Structure 1
Amino acid sequence: MSVDVSGVVMMVLFYLLVLGTGIWASKKTKRMRKNKQANQMDITLLGNRGINLVVGVFTMTATFCGGGFVVGLTETVYNPDFGLAWAALIPITISSSFLIGGFFLAKPMRDRKYVTVVDAFRDKYGTGISGVFSVAMMMTDIVWVPTTLMGLGASMSVILDLSYTHCIWISATVSIIYTLVGGLISVAYTDLVQMTLIFVGMWTCVPFLLTNPYSADITTTALNFTYQAPWVSPIGSDRIWRWIDEALLLTFGNLACQDYYQRVLSASSSATARLISLIAAPLLILCSIPSILIGAVATSTDWNKTEYGSPSPFERGETNMIMPIALQQLTPHYISIVGISSITAAVMSSVDSFILSAVSLFVSNIYKSILRTTASDKEIQWAIRVMMLFLGLLGTSLAFLNVSIMALWVLGTGITYVFMFPQLICVLFFDISNGYGAMMGLFIGAVLRLLSGEPSLGLPVILHFPGCTLENGVYVQHAPVNTICMLCNFISTLLVSRLASLIFNKGVIPERFDIYKVKSRQSQSLIKLARSDTVEEHKDDIPEAKSENEVMLDESVM
């Protein structure tokens, strides 16, 4: 099979469109820098906190509707071991995350004007511990980069007969270039273009897939064995706890990742931040439907009648490439090109976001807060550029690992759910939490999760939870392992925090040994609380003061 010239031309035009949009948007970033409207970090990483509602909704949806999302949904529906019950978890849980974040987290986080979500940890625990959590969250973003690129590489190699390696590196390079040039502004505006292409392109493919002559009616195959097991099947009693575990993991794990909060913190106002989350939730559901339908059609196809022939993709072990195979075999050639363009848009809309998120965490919470506290704006800008190149190349290199797309996606979300989510809840809602509890909770959660095993990473099961069984010579956990480890992290954080607070406040251990400054930080918290109470009591007397900082500023001026 020769290279598809028309398809390659179409992809080149797409890349030029996205790159041109990114460069055009970067001019706005350059104007901000020239006018010195804000510091370099806010301009590059948060778009000077000026993202409006429309752009915000598109960039929020596009970030989570990436290549792993689009291709992985189809793979999950098609796989007889999973089907719709498992695939539907992904869009529903992410949308639930948006709703929960919109109602409870978006406004308070935006009001505090953080640069990253880890700033909440820095304010409470100090720079050292916040640096540890920054590394953990950076790992999540780096792991998510290959999940999106792998879906693109498989798709383009099938439909356009291009090299898997070349497809990945070209797409990653384009994403890195416009992110490097314009920061969040370029990312947000290219997301608007990419999200439009994803939505229009995927829905354009659906009618052709549903009416192709090689597939049976998907409503018939939904519950009946036709060419393979039905794509709608009940969850077995031995897997129900794992299903619940995945649902909780995907729902709450997304609430503890920087990608979400970068959109929230860049919004033009707190109200806009909340609306972005609430509107993006149903939009993401709409974007997931085409991928699910493609998986259903693939399940209902008699592959022996197509040029692909027998055995089926599942029997050949090509389940991870089912979307490009279905587009190639079941739609006209020009429609398959539209489909691959949509996948490419989905990939690039996430890759740029993951890279920018990881860079934000490193520069704001490690480089600026720990390594170079006196760094100038110019130095910060260079640090951002260097880390963008480094992390972009690192994440892209991981795409050549022989690992399932969905395994990497769930692994990244697992890091945020097991390690970060309970810690974020403690930081925001439990005054008793401190550095000792945070470190112990993180340690216990990590040890338990490692001992629980992870088949996708080749980690053996050492700690057997109830229901653990030996299947084909390998132990398989059927308990909600991630949730158990998350709760142990959460509970141990609060218990150890309480114990450490008592020990130092009662003088059992001298204060000079308090390396995390529990006693002094609690005193500072009480002072801040007292000041905030004073502001509330005298709000009517000081109408122009809307926060504690503004009151302090007025007092200093006087």
Structure 2
Amino acid sequence: MAVNVPGLVVVVIFYVGVLAIGIWASRKSKKAEKSCAGTKSEVTIVGGRNISVLVGVFTTTATWVGGGYILGTAEVVYSPKQGLIWAIAPPAFFINLVVGGMFFAKPMRSKRYLTMLDPFQHRYGNMFTAALLLPALVSDILWVSCILAALGGTMSVILGLSSFISIFISAGISILYTFLGGLYSVAYTDVIQLFFMFFSLFLCIPFLALSPAVTGVSPAAHLNQSNANAWLGKLELADAGKWIDEMMLLSLGTLAYQALYQRILSAASSAQAQITCFAAAVAVFIMGIPSVVIGAVAATADWNQTAYGLPAPFERGEAGKILPLALQYLTPTWLSVLGIGSVAAAVMSSMDSALLSSASMFTQNIYKSTLRKQASERELQWVIRICVLLVGLAGMGLAFSGESVFALWLLSTELLYCIILPEFICVLFFSCANSYGAICGYVVGLLLRLLSGESMLGIPPVLLFPGWREEDGVITQHFPYRTLAMLCSLVCILTVSKMMDVGFRQHLIPQSWDLLGVFKQKMEAEEEEEERVYMTQLLS
């Protein structure tokens, strides 16, 4: 396929513009370091806590509206085996941000944390915090690989560039401006990227609807075709468990995502953090509309009337590329170029957040707190930069796996949902949770998830839940096994914590068995307090 030179020029101009804004924001970051009361690393991680509400809404929206969101939603709506009913991302992310604003923003921002691992470190110590970083790090790498894979596929369709070149250049630019400016560069580049996404994606809708190859996307028009209800989809009772599981996964899983709290903690106050979440929830839902329309149009299109021809994309195994294919063959050339720009913007706006997310947690909660407690601010900034580079390179390596964008997207959230979310809920809202319960909950959540199997990683299921099926030699679970793992972990944390608390306080368990020192210090402090109160009463 020949390279689309005019399209390539437009994309290069867009990339240069984004990089220029990132460099400008990095200079703004350096000025903030001089004027901000906080440390340099605080400016890098949470922007000195002075990111405005408007910029906060833009950067939160742009982070959630990534390549997985845009391409994954279109892929699901287009796929005959799924359809609109399975396009759960827009409502799920709406719920996610509303719940985050209602219940999580205030307790996190009011305590002036720097990362979402801070409350774990304060209650459980450094070792368990390091264990929690592992699933968070893997999730970020999978997120990066997902969105880079989305971009590589899009550019190969529209511009004729190889996936390797597309992924390498886009990742390099995201790494560079995140490397230079931290959250300031991420936030301000997100603003321009979101504007570009909104303009180009919504501009595509009327051109797609007027394409000669499209007969109409209304349900009534579609019912008369041989592939009736293909884009609407239907939910069988046997698939209800899987649908509920995926909805819960995307609705609640990213409540344990550092990128969300990076935005919440960068706000000037708890109220501003909540407003940011609520406004972004609406914006994210609206940004899902073009992907739904593109998927529906592609499902109703007569591909034989286009240069693409037959068989259709689904029969060729190219459902994951349906958005760029629709833009390439159902819209004018200049508009398809704008479309590739929107995907590139979506990818970079999410990738930079994932890069900074892992780098922030490792630097603040592992390197500074455990490995190098006396590290200088300059040293910490270089650790953040090196982490950004390493996570970016790891994500690039996985981006060539060729898996479904939607599947990679779900997998990136599973570790957050099954392992970190129950821990996060307990450490924020249940004072009874302790290290023993947290460790047991971690093991239970991880074990149940691994025993349920994962076809993408070649892990066969050991536990077969009701409703499982075997298709083409691959076993799929239709029971909400992810949600079961999350709930079992949550119950385990609270139950074990309470049992250990009662056991040590009632002397049912010898004090010498308190290997983690959870109750020894606590009970000594309580005894000292009781003695102090007693002496005060005697003296009075």
- TM-score bucket of the superposed structures, by smaller chain: over 0.9
Bigger mean CA offset, 220-229 vs 466-475:
220-229
Report Cα offsets for 1:381-422 as digits up to 9, x if no partner. 111111111111111211111321111111111111111111
Maintained 8 Å contact 1:223/1:231: no
Name the amino acid aligned to 2:291.
Answer: S
User: Is 1:158 aligned to 2:157, yes or no?
Assistant: yes
The whole-number CA distance in structure 2 between the counterparts of 1:224 and 1:428 is: 53
Query: What residue is the counterpart of 1:27 in the other structure?
Result: 27
1:261-289 Cα offsets, whole Å, 9 max, x none, are 11001111111100000001111111000
Cross-structure match for 2:245: 245
Give the whole-Å Cα distance in 2 for the aligned partners of 1:76 and 1:525: 56
Establish whether residue 132 from structure 1 lines up as the match of residue 131 from structure 2: yes
Q: 1:70/1:350 Cα in 2 relative to 1: closer, same or farther (>3 Å)?
A: same
Partner letter of residue 238 of structure 1? A
- Secondary structure in structure 1 of the residue aligned to 2:154: helix
Cα displacement string for residues 34-73 of structure 1 (whole angstroms, at most 9, x for unaligned residues):
3463212201111001111000000000001001111111
Q: 1:4 matched to which residue of 2?
A: 4
Counterpart secondary structure, 1:185? helix
SS in 1 for 2:399: helix
What CA deviation, in whole Å up to 9, does each residue of 1:431-476 have, x standing for no partner?
Answer: 1111111111111111111111123332212111222234444433
2 CA distance for matches of 1:446 and 1:73?
Answer: 28
| 1:99-178 matches, cutoff 5 A | 99-178=98-177
Q: Verify the 8 A CA contact 1:223 1:232 in the aligned structure 2.
A: no
* Equivalence for 2:206: 207
Alignment-derived partner of residue 534 in structure 1: none
Decide whether the 8 Å contact of 1:66 with 1:346 is kept in 2.
yes
1:17 and 2:17 matched: yes
Once the two structures are TM-superposed, the CA of residue 320 in structure 1 deviates from its matched residue by 0.9
Where does residue 415 of structure 2 map in the other structure? 415
1:217-271 superposed Cα distances (whole Å, 9 cap, x missing partner): 1004554544575211220111011101111111110111111111001111111
Give the structure 1 partner of residue 260 of structure 2.
260
CA deviation string 1:490-523 (max 9, x = no partner): 1111111122223333344444542322214645
What SS does the aligned partner of 1:400 have? coil
| Contact 1:183-1:356 within 8 A present in 2 as well | yes
Structure-to-structure mapping, 1:359-398, within 5 angstroms: 359-398=359-398
1-structure distance, mates of 2:271, 2:470: 52
**Aligned pairs (5 A) from 1:404-483:** 404-483=404-483
Q: Deviations over 1:334-370 (max 9, x none)?
A: 0101111111100000000000001011111111111
Corresponding residue for residue 549 of structure 1: none
Q: For residue 133 of structure 2, what is the amino acid of its counterpart?
A: S
Q: 1:191/1:85 Cα in 2 relative to 1: closer, same or farther (>3 Å)?
A: same
> Which residue does the alignment assign to 2:316?
316
Preserved contact between residue 228 and residue 300 of structure 1 (Cα < 8 Å): no
Contact 1:71 1:151 (C-alpha < 8 Å) held by counterparts: yes
Which residue of structure 2 aligns with residue 545 of structure 1? none
Q: Is the 8 A contact 1:103 1:274 kept in 2?
A: yes
2: CA distance, partners of 1:184 / 1:165: 27
d(CA) in 2 for partners of 1:194 and 1:504? Answer: 55
The reply on whether 1:53 has 2:53 as its aligned counterpart is: yes
TM-score, structure 2 length as denominator? 0.94
| Contact persistence 2:115–2:360 (CA under 8 A) | yes
**Which residue is equivalent to 2:536?**
none
Question: What SS is found at the alignment partner of 2:475?
Answer: strand
Per the alignment, do residues 433 and 301 of structure 1 end up closer, same or farther by CA in structure 2, a change over 3 Å counting?
same
CA distance 1:525–1:323, change in 2 (3 Å): farther
Change (3 A) 1:526 1:305: farther
Q: CA deviation at 1:163?
A: 1.4
State the Cα RMSD in Å. 1.8
**Residue of structure 1 equivalent to 2:41:** 41
Number of aligned positions between the proteins: 528
Distance in 2, matches of 1:333 and 1:430, equals 56
Aligned to 1:489: 489
Gaps of 5+ in 2: 531-540
Are the equivalent residues in 2 in contact too, given 1:80–1:228 (CA < 8 A)?
Answer: no
- The 10-residue stretch of structure 1 (387-396 or 47-56) with the greater mean CA deviation from structure 2: 387-396
User: Partner residue of 1:538?
Assistant: none
Cα distance in 1 for residues equivalent to 2:521 and 2:91: 40
The 3 A distance-change label for structure 1 pair 221 and 71 is farther
Instruction: Return the alpha-carbon distance in structure 2 between the equivalents of residues 223 and 448 of structure 1.
Output: 42
Listed one character per residue, the Cα deviations across residues 189-220 of structure 1 (whole Å, up to 9, x for unaligned) are 00000000011110011110011000111004
CA distance in 2, matches of 1:362, 1:524: 33
**Structure 2 vs 1, CA of residues 249 and 222 (structure 1 numbering), >3 Å: closer, same or farther?**
farther
Measured in 2, the distance between the counterparts of 1:331 and 1:523 equals: 70
SS of the residue corresponding to residue 238 of structure 1 reads helix
> Equivalences for 1:210-225 in 2 at 5 Å?
210-219=209-218, 220=220, 222-223=222-223, 225=225
Check conservation: 2:78, 2:230, Cα contact below 8 A.
Answer: no
Unaligned 5+ segments in structure 1 are 531-558
Q: Is this contact kept in 1: 2:455–2:474, CA < 8 A? A: no
Report the Cα offset of residue 19 of structure 1.
0.6
Residue type at the aligned position of 1:368:
K
Report SS of the residue matched to 2:238.
Answer: coil
Cα distance in structure 1, aligned partners of 2:178 and 2:524: 39
Deviates more, 1:338-347 or 1:383-392: 383-392
Match of 1:185 in 2: 184
Q: Is 2:198 the partner of 1:196?
A: no
Q: Is the 8 A contact 2:45 2:360 kept in 1?
A: yes
* Deviation per residue, 1:266-320 (Å, 9 max, x gap): 1111111000000011111110000110000000111111110111011111111
* Structure-2 separation of matches of 1:380 and 1:230: 53
Equivalent in the alignment of 1:78:
78
User: Does structure 1 conserve the Cα–Cα contact (< 8 Å) formed by 2:82 and 2:234?
Assistant: no
Question: Which segment drifts farther, 25-34 or 102-111?
Answer: 25-34
2:200–2:338 contact (8 Å) kept in structure 1 = yes
Measure, in 2, the Cα distance between the counterparts of 1:119 and 1:140: 19
| 2:470/2:476 contact within 8 Å kept | yes
When residues 109 and 526 of structure 1 are mapped into structure 2, their CA distance, relative to the original with a 3 A threshold, is farther
Structure 1, 54-63 or 445-454: larger mean CA deviation: 445-454
For 2:138 and 2:521, the matched residues in 1 are separated by: 29
SS of the residue 2:288 aligns to? helix
Partner in structure 1 of residue 67 of structure 2: 67
Question: Following the alignment from structure 2 to structure 1, what is the Cα–Cα distance between the partners of residues 422 and 224?
Answer: 42
Which segment is superposed worse, 24-33 or 304-313? 24-33
- The AA in structure 1 aligned to 2:140 is D
Other structure's SS at 1:475 match: strand
Q: 1:469 to 1:12 in 2, by over 3 A?
A: closer
- Structure 1 pair 224/245, CA: closer, same or farther in 2 (3 Å)? farther
Is 1:76–1:83's contact at 8 Å kept on the other side of the alignment?
Answer: yes
Question: For structure 1, which segment, 352-361 or 28-37, has the greater mean C-alpha deviation from structure 2 after superposition?
Answer: 28-37
Structure 2: distance between partners of 1:227 and 1:466: 30
CA distance in 1, matches of 2:281, 2:166: 31
Distance 2:46 2:173 in 1: 21
| Length-normalised TM-score, structure 1 | 0.91
Matches within 5 A, 1:282-321: 282-321=282-321
